Structure formats: structure tokens, C-alpha cells
Structure 1
Amino acid sequence: MATPNEKLAASLHVLKSLQDKGIQVIQASEAPELTRVHRERLQAAGFLKPVIQGWLLPSNPEEGDGDSTHWYASMEVFVAAYANARFDDKWQLSPELSLLKHSGHTSVAKQIQLHSPEASNKHQDLPHGCSLFMYKVKPQTLVGGRSPGASGLILVPLPEALIRVSPSFFTGHELAAQVALRQVDITTLTGLLLEGGHSVVAGRMAGALRAAGREADASQLVATMKAAGYVVSENNPFERPLAHIGGRLNESPYVQRMRAMWSSMREEVVQRFETVPRRQHTEVQELLADIAARYVADAYHSLSIEGYRVSIELIEKVHNGDWSPLTSEEDRKTRDAMAAKGYAETHKHLREFIGQVLSSSKSPAVAFKEDFSRWYVALFSPSVTAGILRPRDLAGYRNSQVFIRNALHVPPGPDAVRDCMPALMELLQEENHPGVRAVLGHFMFVFIHPYMDGNGRLSRFLMNYMLTTGGYPWTIVTVQSRSQYLAALEQASTYGNIKPFADVICGLIEAQAAQPIERITQRPDAGDWTKPLT
């Protein structure tokens, strides 16, 4: 008789055979080989989770019941598979959600609305408070030439989506509308407006284009409509002036979104830094000694935030050179030790680099661009040496999609990362306030998530590099502030609200400038940043 483990292995083999066929979403009625016995066994072991009746998703048995990460990562793929099963290809997303996708908006939409002539205005609850509404439309509402995106969702093409969204979209999703207006081809847009006789919409489009900086195209649109006999009354659907984006009109929507966020967020950060103590460095070695004194606490908190089980003893062991993967089997195999070793190497490199920058006339942002790749290599080379990672993992930016645990924000895809990182470097070089470079640089780095691992640690290194080269103290994001810190990052990433994140970071700077964090995780020789220089 087969053992329970052997039975589970047999069920996993069936599941793997489905996944090998490219099946990511399982419709029980279409997968007869995955019998009820197999499904129940895999669900009990945590390898399958039901979504709605008759539909399941493969899952990670290590995830708890309240963990939304896998669902958020799979939701769009599930909705696309479910819609294809019900409506074949006779469906599309709503114009509003289509436009959000075209504009580089990557956060999870907890409510998805799709349109189909075969729908019946049905609402379907989905896991973790999400839902799907299938709205019945006339057959002619479906747009020709529509095609599925990366997740399989069928989008309304950009020009049609701009024409079809309601005026409220321009105020409710101002950034998405602005990016879309900068991308749209004016000839295609004008042709669709003429073909449909959309004189009222043409007035709105002209006003919106002018507000987005496309004055010549707005005038051309109005003149063309009038030449065709239409009466056009131009009106601006935006309620306030738009953020400055700059760059090319046809630039990546992800880059345009980054530029607009930086432009709209920076003033809030500048205002928050008005109360943060700052001093100009007169003695580089004093600063470097202070940074070194804060190392143990910094490593403990930064690694603990990321979920590594790192003790003060381990950090001291690595720092003092007592960690030896060549002679100690335990040291060689410990993932946490690799993280601590990499952190120590990066911290040491960064201290030396800060000293070099402050001793030169080079701009901190320019120097960062030239040196940054070394930070990632230093952080993960110990794991490569120990055989935990492959050498090619040090090559550069990620080549697959990444998701942040329990976050609605989904970082841009791997192709977009190649556009976003140079844009971040440009934004840092264009910014003259070191506090803004630190806070928005940290936020934008996490927003992009350029690597498969290490993004949080590298973003905090970036923050502290910009702080210390700008006259502020090396600041530790503590384990105690973790929940507030992560919630603030989510607010900025998903809702465009930078104030909570600026408050968290500036509050930590103020507190630690006056008094380094307690001795339990802090070396006693760290300096007091409110003390006058002598």
C-alpha cells in the first residue's frame, strides 16, 4: 500500500503535468486527470487553493491563509482564463482599467470590470476582498484589433479607451490620464473622433491634450473637426495644473509615471525636511567613524526587516572576521550568515565610497550612477562564493516578474526595469535637495524593484548615501517601525501619497540625530548629531 507521502507525490506529478502544458489556472471540469482525490489531497497539503467553485490555482504550501501575495500575483491571469472560458474572445476590460494599464499603472485592481455581449451583469466575489463584475454590452462595443496584455487581459486600445472613459477619469486618475495623453497618436485619435462624430469628446480631448503640454496637437484636432463640419467646444477635464513630466512624449509609460510622481511628490518632502537637523561636513573621518559606529544596529535592523534571522552575535562575528565558511560547515551553509556577510561587505564599501565622494568635487548623484553596480555585487557575492546563488545572478537586473508580499503594488516588468533605472539615475542627478534624493530615491528604487532580492537593503543604502553626503546622519529604519514603514511605502506606491513615507523617514532622522538607538543594538561610540562641531 502506498504511503501518504507517495500518494501526495503522485498527485503532485499530475499537477506538474498540467503546469508543463502551460496551464496556470485549473478548471476542474477541463482537467479530468486531476481527479477529486488528487484535488483534495493537494488542497490539504497547500499545493492547490480554490478560487471559486470549480476553479483552482496552484499555491505555495508555506503561505498562510491570510497571505495575499500569490493571489495578487495570479489574479489577472485567473480573470483572463475565466473570461476566456465563459466568453471565448468576446470580451474586453473596461475602458477605465484598460487606460490604467496603458499608462503603466501596475498596482492590483481589487475590482475588475469586463465587458461582453454574452455577460449577464453578474458580480463574482474573489479571494482577499477582490471581485469581478461582468457587464453586458452590445456586440458593437467590442473594439476591433484589441489584443491581450502580458497577463492575458484583453485591453481596449489606447485611443478608443481615451474616447470612451468618462470625464471623471481625468480627475480620479489624473496621472494615468496625463501619461496616456502623452502617448496617444494624434492622427489615430482624430480619425476615431471623426468616424464616430464625437464632437463633445473632441472638445474634452483638445482641452486635455493642451493641459498635458500638447498645444499644437490640441489646435490641430479642433481645426480638423471644425473643417469636417463639427462644432467643437474645447474644455479642460482636469481640475488642477498637471505635474511636470518632461522627457519625450513617446517615452516608456513607466518612466513618464516616475517623472510625474517625482515632480508631484518632491515639494511635500522638501517641506518635511525643514525641521530636520542638518550640518555641513568639515571632517570626513568624523563622519565615517560615526557611520562605522552605527553599523551593528544598522545591519541588525535592516536584515531583520527583510526577514533574515540575524543575531547581534552573528553580525559581530562577521564584522570581526570570525565568520569562516571554509572551516565551519555551519557558516558555509547558513543563508543568514551570507546575508550578514554581504551586508558587511557593502557597508564597508559604502563607507569608503562616501569618504571618496566627500573628499572630491563630484556630485553624489553622478558618483552613485558610476558606482552603484558594485553595491549589488558586494551584497550578494558571498552567497555566490558559498554556492547558494549562481555566478550569473550577479549579472544585473532581474529577468522575471517580482511581487511584494501582501502588497497591492506590483513592480514594473523586467523589460520596463531597463527603462526605469536610467530614469531614476537622471532624476537623482536633476534633484538639488539631498533629502529629496534620499527619500524619493529610496521610494523609487523599491517602486521599481530592479532585482529579485536585496531591493530593500539596497534602497536603504541608497537613502543613507544621499543623507550622509548631504549633511544628514546615517539613519536606521528600525524593526519596531517596520509595519509603519512598509505601510507608508504601499501608500506611496499604490496611492501616490508620499507624506506618510516622508514622515516615517524624517521622524527617524530627527530621533537618531538627537540620540542613536539604544545600546541593545547600537555600539556606544556612535556620535550625537545635535552636538556642535569642535
Structure 2
Amino acid sequence: MATPADKLAESLAVLKTLRDQGRKALRSEDMGRTHRERLMRNGFIKEVMKGWYIPSRPDEPAGESTSWYASFWVFCASYLESRFGDEWCVSPEQSIHLHTGNWSVPKQLLIRSPKGGNKPTGLLHGTSILDVRLELPPASDTEIKEGMRIYNLPAALVGCSQTQFSAHPTEMRTALTMMQDASELLGRLLAGGHSKIAGWLAGACRSIGRKQIADDILGAMRAAGYTVNENNPFKDQAQIIFSPRETSPYVNRMRMNWASMREDVLHSFPAAPGLPADSAKYLKQVEAVYVNDAYNSLSIEGYKVSAALIEKVRSGNWNPDSNKDDQDHRNALAARGYWQAFQKVRESIGKVLSQENAGTVAESDHAQWYRELFGPSVTAGILKAADLAGYRNSPVYIRRSMHTPPGKEAVRELMPVLFELLQQENEAAVRVVLGHFMFVYIHPYIDGNGRIGRFLMNLMSASGGYSWIVIPLEQRNDYMAALESASVEGDIKPFSTLLANLVSTG
């Protein structure tokens, strides 16, 4: 007679087959009632709506959002295909967000379909899909991106309302920088007789330095007999000069965010005291804060550590080959790695105190911090040496965050530009706040991004003569909420204020 464990194993085998097929949105008929109820009862699947499920982890706490946010886009694509076939498309405005690399989970995904019901379908954690009954654009105006049927970029730009430019200037400017010439816009503008749209697209292009595209739009429309009045739809001025050779949406968005966020940082952060006159004294203060910093930084990441454990691994009194599966041992490995990385960060700070450019030091040294952070896990056989070879080669998701970090190709575009921005930034406060935020926004590694981001923050802190900043475990929720606000809503003020309240200039 089959035991409960045997029965669960059978159900897990069914789930594994579905997952091996790449299925993240599961329907009732995929599993059968018995398997479905058993998997739900044991926490291996989670109901999104009646008849629809996603895989989840049995150790995921009640109310946890991570599995949903990680599955959101794949689930929506599967659900919409099941409901509408190929007769649906994301709105032009949200298509722009996806084209420009903004895959943060929206509160409401707006869909067009001739079969739409004009009402929202509630999903998990306050998200929903609103399917509006509207005709679809021609097939030539759409494409499929990561499973989502969206407007292609020129059609989305022509299809957006004028208010979208003022409501989401970063995304709209980024989208315009992706256009190589006016030809694809003009075909749609002329075919539809869109003289007003032509006027604001020309004004928008000129405002970001794409003069040739603006002139070509106006010239072609007027030659075809249309009266076109150029009108810049943006309510503010672009704060950066766009290179005609830079078309990466990720890079242009980061440059714009840096320029717009830095002003908020400067308003909320204390002025930098400057490099300390006594470098040795500053380094002693860094060493003195180690135990407090390690305890809080590791605890924020979920490790169970104590001051006694931190002191134990600092002294080298540990055995990396014993009890590989023991959670206490994993905590010790994390603590040992933190100690080793901390020593390398301290060396990096020494370079900055000797007046080396902080951004240059971070660029050359951060990979070594990462290797030291996880070196003990390699020694213990938990990780392979190849795992520490460089930036990630797979997607990564942040626990409980609606922010979806950029893909692996974008990581390799963004990291050199992040260090360039740090190298060129004159204000230490901006380097402190945006250095940390942008690093964890990119999330270049599979693991350890929070710890490396805080190391980077404190290297930049030293470059301005600020004290080492410790994020207290008691403020973890505020800290994560502030990062979420910056990542999803573009509001850096809560994060800047939080760090400003923790830093010392004395």
C-alpha cells in the first residue's frame, strides 16, 4: 500500500514533468484533482485564480509574494493565450515599458482584445489584468517579447497618448533613443494621417537631440500635404545629453535616473566632510565596526549569526569540510566569507584614502570582494570555483520585490557604465546613495548583491570622509521598502533619507 510519502512523490513527479516543459502557469486539467489538491496542501503549488496555479516552495511563508512576482509575466502570457488565443496585445503604453527594459510587475496589466470583457481579473498580491475590448493593431505592428504580445516600438510610440510623455518621461525618452531613423515612424504616421502625433513626436525627438529624425518627420508629413505643428510633449528638460551612438535602453535609462535622482540625494544628505587627514585612524574605525556591521548585514540576508560566531570565524576557528548540510555551518561559511571580503574592502578603502578615484577602485576590486565572500563555500564544496567566475548568466529575482532585474546581456552593458558614473560623479553623497541603489537594481550576481552593494556604499562613504554606514537589522523593512520605492517607482528620496539618518560626518 502506498504511503503518504509515496503519493506525494507521485504528485511531485507530475509537477516535475510540467516544469521540465517550461510550464509556470498550470491549469487544473494539467494535473488532475488528486495531484492538484495534494500539491496545494503541501505547498508545492499556489492558486492564482480558480483553475489556475503557479509552482511555489513549500517553505514559502504565508503571504509571500516572491514566487508570484517571479512567475507574473509567464503566467499572464499563458493565461491570455488560453483565453484569447492570439487575439490580444499589451497596450502601447505598457509595451513601451517592456521595450525599454522596465519589466517591473505592474499593479494592473492593460490588454487589448476584440474579445475583452472591459473588466479587471484579480490576481495575487493586489495585481490584476484589465482586458479592454478594442480592435488589435495590424500583425505587422506587433511582436512577441518574452511571451508577451506587444506593440513593436514604432507602433507603440505612435499609439501612445500625449500625456504618456509627461507621466513617464524616462521610458518615453529611452524609447525615442532606440529609434535609428524616422522611416518606421513615418510609415505609420503617413498611413494614418496622424498630424498631431507627428507634431509631438518631432518635438520630443528634437528635445533629446535627435534633430534629424524630427526634421524628417516634419518634412515628410508636410510634403504629403499635412499641417504639422511641432510640440514638445515633455514637461521637463532632459538632464543628460544623449549620444547618437548609444541605443541601449538600459544604459540610457540608468543615465537618466542617475541625473534625476542625484538632485534628491543632494537635498537630503549631509555635505561630505572630505577625505580624512588621518587615514590610519579612519581605517581603525572601520576595523572597529566590523562585528556590528557583519551581524547586521548578514542578518538582513537571513543568516542566523551572533557576535560569538563572527568572532569565531574571524579567528579562523572553523572547519570548512564538516557538516556541509548543516545550517549552522552555512551560517559560519557566510560569516567567514564576510570577514574575508571585509578585509579586501578595507584594502580598497586604503586606496581611496590615498586619493585614488573611488569609482575606479570599485571597478577593479569588486570582483575580488565577491570571490572572497563566497570563497569558503567553494572550499567546503557547496559551490564550484566556476560559480565565482563573473556576472550571472541566468535570470535572478529579488525576494518580495516587484522589480525584475535586467537580463544577463543588459548586466554586461550596465556595469561598466555604473562605474563610469561613479568615476565622474563629483558629489560623494550621490556616489554613496546611487552607487548602492544602482548596484542592487542591476543585481549582477546570483547571490550576495545586497552585501556587495553595502560594501560599495561604504567605499563611496570613505571617499567623502563619511563614517562606515551600518544598516541595522531593526530597519530591514524600511531599508527594503526604500529600495523597492526607488526600483519600481523611481523615487530615491526614502532611500537617501534612510542612509542620511545613519551616516556620521564626524
Give 3-state SS (helix, strand or coil) of 2:216's partner.
helix
Give 2:132's aligned residue: 135
* 1:228 Cα deviation after fit: 1.1
Give 2:499's aligned residue: 505
Note the alpha carbon deviations across 1:95-139, whole angstroms, 9 max, x for none.
111011112212111201111223232421111111111111225
Of 325-334 and 413-422, deviating more is 325-334
Note the alpha carbon deviations across 1:130-172, whole angstroms, 9 max, x for none.
1111111225x3442522212x111100111111111111111
Could you tell me which amino acid in structure 1 is paired with residue 345 of structure 2?
L
TM-score, length basis structure 2: 0.96
Note the alpha carbon deviations across 1:272-303, whole angstroms, 9 max, x for none.
23x35624322221111111011110101111
Structure 1 consecutive aligned stretches of length 4 or more whose deviation exceeds 6 Å: 327-333
d(CA) in 2 for partners of 1:305, 1:346? 17
* 1:250 Cα deviation after fit: 4.2
Give 3-state SS (helix, strand or coil) of 1:509's partner.
coil
- From 404, 413, 417, give the equivalent of 2:398: 404
d(CA) in 1 for partners of 2:376, 2:139? 53
Q: 1:267 to 1:112 in 2, by over 3 A?
A: same
The alignment status of 1:263 with 2:259, answered yes or no, reads yes
d(CA) in 1 for partners of 2:324, 2:301? 24
d(CA) in 2 for partners of 1:403, 1:489? 14
Of 216-225 and 199-208, deviating more is 216-225
Give 1:518's aligned residue: none
Give 3-state SS (helix, strand or coil) of 2:132's partner.
strand
Give 2:55's aligned residue: 58
The alignment status of 1:339 with 2:334, answered yes or no, reads yes
d(CA) in 2 for partners of 1:498, 1:90? 39
* 1:24 Cα deviation after fit: 2.2
Tell me if the contact between 1:208 and 1:236 (Cα under 8 Å) persists in the aligned partners. yes
d(CA) in 2 for partners of 1:279, 1:320? 34
Give 3-state SS (helix, strand or coil) of 2:503's partner.
helix
* 1:318 Cα deviation after fit: 1.4
* 1:196 Cα deviation after fit: 1.4
The alignment status of 1:431 with 2:425, answered yes or no, reads yes
> What aligned pairs does 1:270-349 form with structure 2 within 5 A after superposition?
270-273=266-269, 275-276=270-271, 278-325=273-320, 334-349=329-344
Give 2:455's aligned residue: 461
The alignment status of 1:230 with 2:226, answered yes or no, reads yes
Give 3-state SS (helix, strand or coil) of 1:155's partner.
strand
Could you tell me which amino acid in structure 2 is paired with residue 270 of structure 1?
L
d(CA) in 1 for partners of 2:361, 2:124? 46
* 1:249 Cα deviation after fit: 5.0
Note the alpha carbon deviations across 1:470-510, whole angstroms, 9 max, x for none.
21111111112211111111111111111111111111003
Give 2:200's aligned residue: 204
Give 3-state SS (helix, strand or coil) of 1:50's partner.
strand
Q: 1:286 to 1:164 in 2, by over 3 A?
A: same
How many residues are matched?
505
The alignment status of 1:474 with 2:471, answered yes or no, reads no
Q: Percent identity?
A: 47
Tell me if the contact between 1:106 and 1:410 (Cα under 8 Å) persists in the aligned partners. yes
Of 89-98 and 56-65, deviating more is 56-65
d(CA) in 2 for partners of 1:38, 1:427? 53
Give 2:211's aligned residue: 215
Give 1:17's aligned residue: 17
Note the alpha carbon deviations across 1:200-254, whole angstroms, 9 max, x for none.
1101111111122212321221111111111001111111212315344542111
Give 2:350's aligned residue: 355
> For the aligned residues, what is the CA RMSD?
1.8
Give 3-state SS (helix, strand or coil) of 2:382's partner.
coil
Q: 1:220 to 1:285 in 2, by over 3 A?
A: same
Q: 1:6 to 1:94 in 2, by over 3 A?
A: same
Q: 1:393 to 1:402 in 2, by over 3 A?
A: same
Could you tell me which amino acid in structure 1 is paired with residue 221 of structure 2?
M
Note the alpha carbon deviations across 1:66-86, whole angstroms, 9 max, x for none.
111111111111111111112
Q: 1:368 to 1:210 in 2, by over 3 A?
A: same
Give 1:6's aligned residue: 6
Tell me if the contact between 1:331 and 1:337 (Cα under 8 Å) persists in the aligned partners. no
* 1:328 Cα deviation after fit: 8.1
- From 113, 117, 120, give the equivalent of 2:114: 117
Of 398-407 and 330-339, deviating more is 330-339
- From 128, 150, 159, give the equivalent of 1:164: 159
Tell me if the contact between 2:275 and 2:462 (Cα under 8 Å) persists in the aligned partners. no
d(CA) in 2 for partners of 1:332, 1:44? 26
TM-score, length basis structure 1: 0.91
- From 236, 240, 246, give the equivalent of 2:242: 246
Note the alpha carbon deviations across 1:293-326, whole angstroms, 9 max, x for none.
1111010111111111011110011122222335
Residue ranges of structure 2 left out of the alignment (5+ in a row): none
Give 1:392's aligned residue: 386
Give 1:28's aligned residue: 28
Of 499-508 and 205-214, deviating more is 205-214
Tell me if the contact between 1:107 and 1:494 (Cα under 8 Å) persists in the aligned partners. yes
Give 2:370's aligned residue: 376
Of 182-191 and 166-175, deviating more is 182-191
d(CA) in 1 for partners of 2:364, 2:20? 42
Could you tell me which amino acid in structure 2 is paired with residue 298 of structure 1?
D
